Chains A and B, each alone.
Chain A
Amino acid sequence: MKLEGRIIKFGNVEGEAIVSTEPIGFLGGVDPETGVIIEKGHPLEGKSIKGKILVFPTGKGSTVGSYILYKMKRKNTAPIGIINEDCEPITAVGVIISDIPCVDKIEINKIKNGDRIIIRGEKVVVE
């Protein structure tokens, strides 16, 4: 299946999808040391986003979240790509300063956990 969205941060990357139906806040929501989601009651609580293509509707929470993504990238615990329905400023600034390819305006309900994903600029291939 081929999807097309809007480039937030240009890049080409391939990996396994991890999908959240709920928004993600990086400050307090993710442990930057391990890449594990720690927000209580979050659908991905206890799951690692490290090295995955992280798919979620939109970001939330503190603007410091941009720096948390940056910290994760430096510690090798960051996702390798991000796909959003609607990207917001915290995630957008975070992916740009961390060089993580990111696309939004994608119908994320077409992507399932474990799908093989290829991001090529604005194009997303789901296998």
Chain B
Amino acid sequence: MELTKEEEEMFVGEKGDGVQKAMEIVVALGKIYNAEKLVMVNSVQVSGVSYKNLGDAGIEFLEEWARKGGRVSVRTTLNPAGMDLENWKRLGFKEDFAQKQLKVIDAFKKMGITPICSCTPYLIGNLPKFGEHIAWGESSAVAFANSVIGARSNREGGPSALAAAIIGRTACYGFHLNENRKADFVFNVNCEVKDFSDFGALGNIIGRTVKNKVPYIIGIKNYNQDDLKVLGASMAASGAVALFHIENITPEARTKNMIKDSAEKIKIDSLDDGYNSLNSNVNEIDFVSIGCPHASVDELKRIAELVKDKKLKAELWVTTSKYTSEKAKDYVKIIEQSGGKVLNDTCLVVAPVEDFGFKNLATNSGKAAFYAPSYSKLNVRFGSLEKCINAAIRGRWE
């Protein structure tokens, strides 16, 4: 791999230990994937923020890197933490978990990162441009950035994203290169896909089929930005999809042929397979979670409309970024008046949900429904937002 003179200096430690460590990580990954060079990046999303995933070893690692002078040099945002960073006590998070989580955040702060924690960085000011090289962790955000924005990112791990943020570079391989962005599969969708949960079910089916390859989807007519957000999230959970194209919708598919000659063609006539694989048969619901990926202002508005003047029987968590909930203060108030909770900075997948004693979850997210049984030991009902809010009001799935 070719390094510039400045990159060589970083690699041999002339810019300090923290920079050297970062350069070593990026160069090693470049070697493994046969990168010929590094590319500059101006946007990084760091995953591996929740103490639930990092553990004590992760804290020590981050603190050591900060001590060695690791400082980010480009726009960097963080993935959700394991709790609401301000309101954790009121929301019932345990003291010992909270103290550990705050140590993680402190280490990131020392590295120069403003702790805005969200899986939707593109909604809170970290919005790359079409064609821009970026280094993002968080599988759902990578799928959105590559596909809906047309930026270029591999699925970075926590340390490799942080390394890229410190040196402002990532290794040029995988989805940074034109030749790897064409679709390996073409899906002809012949059934109606309209609700947010429909997009999650479709994503679940496609992800399981293509694994880490690139799908091209034909037959999507009505959609909004939130639908594309959950489509990618669900594909990235059931598979390892980092990039998808939708005919006439996503930017690369609109401008050129993004299908490989060898692409396999598959028909989808029903979403039942997706719904069935994400649903268990429980009917009593004690927990409802909305906001995976983090809810937008528009989603908070729809939830507020559904719970207005109602009293909830089941616990309702709406997870979003602090930025979004501040923009949607009036909706947050209505949700809280119904007994629902709006949690900033965290989400179902990375919070220590098992500490709260919930049993049966209802969610409209194809990603949350995929992970909840294994990560949080919950039985899951998966369906539309209306069904989920109805379950929150009545304590039953109907």
- Verify if A127 is at the interface (C-beta below 8 Å from B): no
Q: Which residue of B lies closest to A86 (CB)?
A: B32
**A-contact bits for B33-44, CB 8 A (1 contact / 0 none):** 000000000000
Instruction: Kindly list chain B residues whose C-beta atoms are within 8 Å of the C-beta of A68.
Output: 57
Give A23 to B75 CA distance when docked, in angstroms: 37
Q: Does A97 lie within 8 Å of B60, measured CB to CB?
A: no
In the complex, residue of chain B having the shortest beta-carbon distance to the beta carbon of A68: B57
With A74-B60, A97-B21 as given contacts, are A92 and B53 in contact (CB-CB < 8 Å)?
Answer: no
* Neighbour of B32 across the interface among A63, A67, A70, A87, CB < 8 A: A87
What is the bound-complex CA distance between A14 and B51, given in angstroms?
Answer: 36
Q: Mark contacts of A40-70 with chain B using CB atoms, 8 A cut-off: 1 yes-contact digit, 0 otherwise.
A: 0000000000000000000000011011101
B interface footprint on A86-127 (CB within 8 Å = 1, 0 otherwise) = 111110110011000000000000000000000000000000
Q: For residue B31, which residues in chain A have a CB less than 8 angstroms away from its CB?
A: 6, 8
**Residues B53 and A64 in contact, CB atoms below 8 Å apart:** yes
Residues of B within 8 A of A63 (CB): 157-158
Q: Contact: A92 with B61, CB < 8 Å? A: no
Contact assessment for B55 and A92 in the assembled complex, using a CB-CB cutoff below 8 Å: no
A74's contact among B32, B54, B57, B158, by CB below 8 Å, is which? B57
Report if A70-B28 is in contact (Cβ < 8 Å); known contacts: A89-B160, A93-B157: no
Say whether B219 faces chain A, with CB atoms less than 8 Å apart: no
Find chain B residues with CB under 8 A from A74 CB.
57, 60
Instruction: Note all chain B residues with C-beta closer than 8 A to A32.
Output: 57
* A93-B54 in contact (CB<8A): no
Contact present for B159 and A8 (CB under 8 Å): no
> Hey, which chain A residues are within 8 Å of B53, CB to CB?
64
Given contacts A63-B158, A64-B53, contact A97 B28 (CB under 8 A): no
Q: Establish whether residues B157 and A67, one from each chain, have CB atoms under 8 Å apart when the complex forms.
A: no
B7: interface (CB < 8 Å): no
Residue numbers in A under 8 Å from B24 (CB-CB): 9, 96
User: Is B29 on the interface with A (CB-CB < 8 A)?
Assistant: yes
Question: Residue of B at shortest CB range from A6?
Answer: B31
Q: A6-B31, A88-B32 are in contact. Are A97 and B157 (CB under 8 A)?
A: no
The answer to whether A67 touches B61 (Cβ under 8 A) is yes
A24-B180 Cα distance, complex, nearest whole Å:
29
Out of B28, B55, B56, B65, which one reaches A8, CB within 8 Å? B28
Tell me the smallest distance from the CB of B235 to a CB of chain A, in Å. Answer: 19
Q: How many residues of B contact A (CB 8 A)?
A: 20
Residues of A within 8 A of B28 (CB): 8-9, 87, 92-93, 96
Q: Are A67 and B57 in contact (CB under 8 A)?
A: yes
A87 to B28, CA, bound (A): 9
Q: With an 8 A cutoff between CB atoms, is B58 at the interface?
A: yes
Task: List the A side residues contacting B259 at CB < 8 Å.
Answer: none
Q: Which residues of A contact B220 (CB under 8 A)?
A: none
What are the residues of chain B within 8 A of A87 when measuring CB–CB? 28, 32
Query: In the bound complex, do residue A96 and residue B57 qualify as a contact, i.e. CB atoms below 8 Å apart?
Result: no
CB proximity of B258 to chain A, nearest CB, Å:
26
Closest to B23 in A: A96
B25 within 8 A of A: yes
Q: Judge whether B21 and A96 touch: CB under 8 Å.
A: yes
Give the interface centre of B25, B53, B57, B159 by most chain A CB atoms within 10 Å: B57
Contacts of A6 in B (CB 8 A): 31
Across-interface contacts of B61 in A (CB, < 8 A): 67, 70, 97
Q: List 14 A-B contacts (CB under 8 A).
A: A63-B158, A66-B157, A67-B55, A70-B60, A71-B56, A74-B57, A88-B32, A89-B29, A89-B157, A92-B29, A93-B157, A93-B159, A96-B21, A97-B25
Closest CB pairs A-B (n = 6): A71-B57, A92-B28, A67-B57, A63-B157, A93-B159, A96-B24
Taking A9-B24, A97-B21 as given, write out 12 further A-B residue pairs in contact, using a Cβ cutoff of 8 Å, ordered by the A residue number. Answer: A8-B32, A64-B55, A67-B54, A71-B56, A71-B60, A74-B60, A89-B29, A89-B160, A90-B157, A92-B25, A92-B28, A92-B32
